[in-house]
Structure formats: structure tokens, C-alpha cells
């Protein structure tokens, strides 16, 4: 209950400080990795729908399963729950402060989201994030290829040295 009060207070401060001018925000969130993939997609689409209703989507990254850098614990009705992995996604959108506050309330209310971060950003930064994401998708393939080539070269060198 205290967290909900914090979200409402933060949302109210946002409204008071920013007025009705549209700004660009990024909402990054972790979805429970134990959910079936259909439910993960549904949760993402629900959040995206709220954002699209309240503002304009600028950029986005659909859910991708990741290993968390550290364990995140959350107290639930059934007891404490630990998360070591999650489906991570982000959506950059442009909205007024009032609509932004509504998006934050929706993110907090969705129990499939166990952690989220909300940032003030720019459209250029969002585009750059998309470019970096595309490059990162390609980089592991090249790293694996390089590792395989180096491994084969090392094996060949060891075989020739032994003979």
C-alpha cells in the first residue's frame, strides 16, 4: 500500500512540475519469467495499449528473456518471491504529464510487472537505443563465429605442435 501512495505522490509531483506540455518518456519493465510466453506477450500488449491510448509510441522493444544481474525479491500474499530472470521490454512514448501519470499507475497496478523504471528522455535517444539494440543482436553472432575460428586455429596449432 505504501508503494501505491509513492506512485500517486510521484505522479502528482510530475503533474505539478511539468504542466500539460508533452514530453518523451521511456518505460522499461520486467515481466515475470515464469509466465507462459502468450501471457508475456499479452502483458506487453496491454501496457503498450495503455501507452498508445495516452500518448504516441516513439520506439519500443518487445519482451526478451534475460538473466538478471542480481536477485530481485518481492513480497506477495503467498510469501516472498525471488526473481533471477525476467522478460525485459521498454517503450518510449510522448505524452502529457497527466497521461504520463496514468501510464505509471497502470504499470504499478499490473502484477505481472514486478519492476519498472520510468525515465525522461528524447526522441533522438530512443532512436539511438534502437540502433544499439540492432547492433547488439548482430554482435553475439560475430563473437561466436570469432570464438569458433579461434578455437579451431588453437586446436590445429596444438595438433601440429604435438606431432
User: Could you report the per-residue pLDDT of 52-67, keeping only the tens digit for each?
Assistant: 999 999 999 999 999 9
CATH number at residue 101: 3.30.70.60
Residue 52 structural domain: 2-121
**Number of domains comprising the chain:** 2
Q: At residue 44, does pLDDT exceed 80?
A: yes
> What does the block give as the cell for 38?
502468450
The bridge status of strand 56-76 relative to strand 113-121 is unpaired
Residues 65 and 138 in one domain: no
Residues 130 and 105 in one domain: no
Query: What is the average pLDDT score of the chain?
Result: 84
Residues 143 and 108 in one domain: no
Q: What is the pLDDT of residues 68-84, one digit of tens each?
A: 999 999 988 889 999 99
Cα 82 to its chain centre, rounded Å, is: 18
Residues 45 and 104 in one domain: yes
Task: Identify the pLDDT of residue 47.
Answer: 97
Residues 42 and 116 in one domain: yes
Task: Identify the pLDDT of residue 45.
Answer: 97
Task: Identify the pLDDT of residue 148.
Answer: 66
Which of 32-41, 88-97, 109-118, 153-162 shows the lowest mean pLDDT across its residues? Answer: 153-162
Helices (H), the chain: 2-18, 37-54, 97-109, 123-162
Cα–Cα distance list, 111 to 32, 42, 83, 114, 115 (Å): 9, 13, 14, 6, 10
Backbone angles phi, psi at 63, to 5 degrees: -55, 135
Backbone angles phi, psi at 55, to 5 degrees: -160, -155
Query: pTM of the entire structure?
Result: 0.71
> Is 15 within 8 Å of 63 (Cβ atoms)?
no
DSSP secondary structure of 6-38: HHHHHHHHHHHHHTT--EEEEEEEEEETTS-HH
Task: Identify the pLDDT of residue 154.
Answer: 66
Task: Identify the pLDDT of residue 144.
Answer: 53
Q: Can you tell me whether residue 61 is helix, strand or coil?
A: strand
Q: At residue 9, does pLDDT exceed 70?
A: no
Q: At residue 4, does pLDDT exceed 60?
A: no
Q: At residue 107, does pLDDT exceed 90?
A: yes
Residues 12 and 81 in one domain: yes
Amino acid at each position: 500500500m505504501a508503494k501505491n501512495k509513492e506512485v500517486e505522490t510521484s505522479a502528482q509531483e510530475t503533474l505539478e512540475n511539468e504542466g500539460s506540455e508533452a514530453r518523451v518518456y521511456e518505460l522499461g519493465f520486467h515481466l515475470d519469467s515464469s509466465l507462459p510466453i502468450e501471457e508475456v506477450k499479452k502483458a506487453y500488449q496491454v501496457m503498450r495499449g495503455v501507452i498508445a491510448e495516452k500518448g504516441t509510441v516513439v520506439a519500443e522493444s518487445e519482451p526478451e528473456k534475460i538473466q538478471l544481474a542480481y536477485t530481485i525479491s518481492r513480497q506477495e500474499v503467498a510469501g516472498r518471491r525471488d526473481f533471477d530472470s525476467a522478460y525485459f521490454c521498454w517503450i518510449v512514448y510522448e505524452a502529457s504529464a497527466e497521461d504520463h501519470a496514468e501510464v505509471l499507475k497502470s504499470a504499478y497496478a499490473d502484477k505481472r510487472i514486478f519492476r519498472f523504471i520510468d525515465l525522461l528522455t528524447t526522441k533522438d535517444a530512443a532512436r539511438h537505443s534502437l540502433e544499439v539494440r540492432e547492433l547488439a543482436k548482430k554482435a553475439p553472432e560475430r563473437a561466436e563465429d570469432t570464438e569458433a575460428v579461434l578455437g579451431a586455429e588453437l586446436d590445429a596449432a596444438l595438433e601440429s605442435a604435438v606431432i
